[in-house]
Amino acid sequence: MCGIVGYIGQKEAWPIIVKGLKRLEYRGYDSSGIALVADGIKSYKKTGKVTDLEAFAEGKALGGKVGIGHTRWATHGEPSDRNAHPHLSEDGRLAIVHNGIIENYGPLKEELASRGHVFQSDTDTEVLIHLIADILKEEKTDLLEAVRLALSQVVGAYAIVVADRESPNQLVAARKGSPMVIGIGEQEYFIASDASPIIEYTRNVVYLKDQEIAFINADELLIKTIDNEVHTPYVQQLEMQLEMLEKAGYDHFMLKEIHEQPRSIRDCMRGRIYPQEGMVQLGGIKEYAEKLRNADRIIIVACGTSWHAGLVGEYLIEEYARVPVGVEYASEFRYRNPIITERDIVIAISQSGETADTMAAVELAKERGATILGICNVVGSSIPRLTHGGVYTHAGPEIGVASTKAFTAQVTVLTQIALYVAQLRGTLPQSKLVELLTTLQDIPLLVEKALNCDEATRYIASEIKDATNAIFLGRGIGFPVALEGALKLKEISYIHAEGYPAAEMKHGPIALIDEEMPVVVIATQNSSYEKVISNIQEVKARKGRIIAIVTEGDTAVKGLADYVIEIPHADEAFLPLLATIPLQLLSYHTALLRGCNVDQPRNLAKSVTVE
């Protein structure tokens, strides 16, 4: 979850690394640090954000054309200056930055301590750099070989970059289970956890694969495996645009990304749906059409917001393709003994493509013989490489930690998959397929219309900003929307919020309702509309404050609710793509009024690459 940046070349490293760390702060912002290699190693690190590091280092010696940097999401050891990265070897010769967890750091630390090593931090990372230094000294080898030998003893996940004051013109990088990309410039290389710090300087990149180690100097990139096999680097071209990483006049990345959803949903469908022909084409899974046609079951594995998208997928696939679907938390799926057969399809959903629990679930299902398909946003990430096939969402970089456009893009892909499988299995009349695809094509325009609720959500936020709890209710396909709305509110405003199926409210949660409790209800005109009205009346009888998401023109709910937000009418299948919009804006404005950092909420990170 941490962010790593490295540079080696002809330019000054400090400004490049600082800018890169700022682009990676969505991965962690408990502390940050930079080590520069010039007349030894100069290391600067500070608790807090990268701006705190800049202030701390002002006026200090910041020269050097080789350096490594890190922005941290704490795992081992509390956020503090001494636990911040980079970490140094005991003699100060080596510096390391690390994203991941070394699971066997305890026994390694005990062994090193018995040999006289003294540690300055609580981190597993410091143990690793001591181990590398120990091997370097005892084996009298070079840095690349010392790193390789050390990593052969490590259990866990890592992306690391190591610098050496005795070889000041080289860096060694490696990865296993955590992402790392190397940008190739003119006599310079850029190393980062993802492409966002690199795109400003070069489009030529190499995505390091699991258990690969890179030796880098200004003139050479050599890649080996932990087993000492030389690999030829595969250079790819980045498709990302630099302007995607800027706020473009918006106050926050989250607000920008909310307003990007008409574009991101449209991009997600481009070249994939043909409404007039009533046809869906998904090239990334075309090879597995026969398996999808004959699948006994589809299992969706995901975490967090992606899990909510998976629940929407369950409703749509079962409704239209008539295939049984199970939606599993990846973190739970991997730690039990699930029943999986060769006739099962497993769909793994991850915005980053690096979610550790989802990757582990994929590997388990693969071992059991299932066909694995992925839904990811980041091209070149780990899950697309692990799966048999898949579909990219093409949402573009999502910098705000609370997911917005990635969620609606995932739902859009799942909608297309549902209709594609229905097309393969012949479970939908052609006329209905044409109707649904025609509406889906118009969804970006309807989302633009839904975004007009900004003023209404800002006012409602001012009314509920002092609440300590909230309940979100939905029925049918509106239930996952309620879950996602509750997650957004608690993530960025720190108001405790829970999503429930509306009918379940009377089986317990109704005890919480009083005049102080905001109750957000998905009350659009669909198959369960009358039932939802009954649920609203139950809340009203207990004096709860009702915020209703309704279909434009609704009159019945308006007479019951305290606050109403209208969204455009569409087929029930597309409710999640429209009803989610006001819930995102409501959370955003509530968080702002409470003085919260909407882009970097406390304790969270964008890409959960550790277990």
The residues assigned a catalytic role are 2, 606
Could you tell me what percentage of the chain is helix, strand and coil, using 3-state DSSP and rounding each to the nearest 5? 40, 25, 35
Taking the C-alpha atoms of residue 264 and residue 256, their distance in angstroms, rounded to an integer, is 12
Give me the DSSP letters along 11-25: S-HHHHHHHHHHHTG
Tokens at 450, concatenated: 């839904």
Map residue 214 onto helix, strand or coil: strand
Quote the CA–CA distance of 345 and 343 in Å, as a whole number.
Answer: 7
CA-based torsion, 13, 14, 16, 18: positive or negative: positive
Please state, in angstroms and rounded to a whole number, the distance separating the CA atoms of residues 539 and 537: 5
Q: Which tokens hold the place of 567?
A: 């969204």
Minimal CA–CA distance to 27: which of 83, 70, 68? 70
The DSSP string of 315-382 is HHHHHHH---EEEEEHHHHTTS-----TTEEEEEEESSS--HHHHHHHHHHHHTT-EEEEEESSTT-H
- Smallest Cα–Cα separation from 121: which of 79, 161, 156? 79
CA distance 409 to 268: 6
Q: Given CA atoms 550, 556, 561, 564 in this order, what sign does their dihedral have?
A: positive
Q: Pairing mode, if any, of strands 170-176 and 344-350?
A: unpaired
Closest CA to 175 of 68, 99, 88, 95: 99
- Beta strands at 189-192 and 181-184: parallel, antiparallel or unpaired: antiparallel
| Cα gap 489→590, rounded to integer Å | 8
CA–CA distance, 65 with 50 (Å, rounded to integer): 20
The residue assigned the tokens 């209800």 is: 521
The DSSP line for 129-172 is HHHHHHHHHHHT--HHHHHHHHHTT--EEEEEEEEETTSTTEEE
Give the span between the Cα atoms of 570 and 216, in whole angstroms. 54
For residue 151, the Cα-to-chain-centroid distance in whole angstroms is 27
